[in-house]
């Protein structure tokens, strides 16, 4: 369900995302900025079971899209995540990392939803993530 509060961009990524949705910035420019931008990844924290060792596996917030596609939720900032995560038990925390790291860790067939629940956001199908991952692997590392 989209948020009803106005979206006031607070980062360069949010400004570019809003401009892309308004049509004043192209998709290529937005994707170029997104690839190196920091994003917030909510992860499950199993603090409910006493005396259990912490899991060494990161479990990001995932959901199923209307078409059945598995999607990983990420946000432009931790503050964008707070209202969405408020009612989702176990997802009180997360971490900041570069978007290109996120897509490098995703398994094939998984999409990404940037700012789910907000009016300003974007869903990226698994095929798009696979394409971005392929482009990332083709780009030589800077020395």
Summarised one tens digit per residue, pLDDT across range 26-74 is 999 999 999 999 999 999 876 555 555 555 667 899 999 999 999 999 9
- In 3D space, the residue among 111, 48, 49, 114 whose CA is nearest the CA of residue 84 turns out to be 114
Does the reported pTM lie above 0.75? yes
Domain range for 115 is 38-138
- The pLDDT of residue 68 is 93
pLDDT of 46 reads 66
Q: Does any domain span residue 31? A: no
- How would you classify the pairing of strands 70-74 and 62-64? antiparallel
Residues 89-134 pLDDT 10s: 888 889 999 999 999 999 999 999 999 999 999 999 999 999 998 8
Residue 72 lies in a domain: yes
Max Cα distance, the chain (Å): 53
CATH number at residue 80: 3.40.1350
Instruction: Look at residue 5 and tell me if it is in a domain.
Output: no
Q: What is the pLDDT of residue 1?
A: 44
Interstrand relation of 93-98 and 110-114 (parallel, antiparallel or unpaired): unpaired
CA dist 105 → 19, 62, 133 (Å):
28, 14, 10
Would you say residue 91 lies in a domain? yes
15 within a domain of the structure (yes/no):
no
Q: Taking each helix axis from N to C terminus, what angle separates 27-36 and 126-138, rounded to the nearest 10 degrees?
A: 70
In a domain, 112, yes or no: yes
């Amino acid at each position: 369900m989209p948020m009803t509060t106005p979206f006031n961009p607070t980062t360069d990524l949010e400004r570019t995302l809003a401009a892309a949705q308004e049509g004043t910035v192209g998709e290529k420019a937005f994707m170029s900025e997104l690839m190196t931008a920091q994003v917030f990844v909510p992860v499950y924290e199993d603090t409910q079971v006493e005396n259990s060792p912490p899991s060494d596996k990161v479990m990001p917030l995932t959901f199923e899209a209307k078409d059945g596609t598995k999607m990983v939720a990420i946000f432009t900032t931790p503050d964008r995540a707070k209202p969405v995560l408020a009612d989702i038990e176990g997802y009180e925390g997360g971490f900041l990392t570069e978007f290109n790291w996120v897509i490098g860790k995703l398994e094939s067939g998984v999409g990404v939803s940037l700012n789910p629940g907000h009016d300003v956001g974007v869903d990226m199908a698994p095929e798009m993530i696979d394409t971005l991952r392929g482009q990332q692997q083709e780009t030589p590392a800077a020395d």
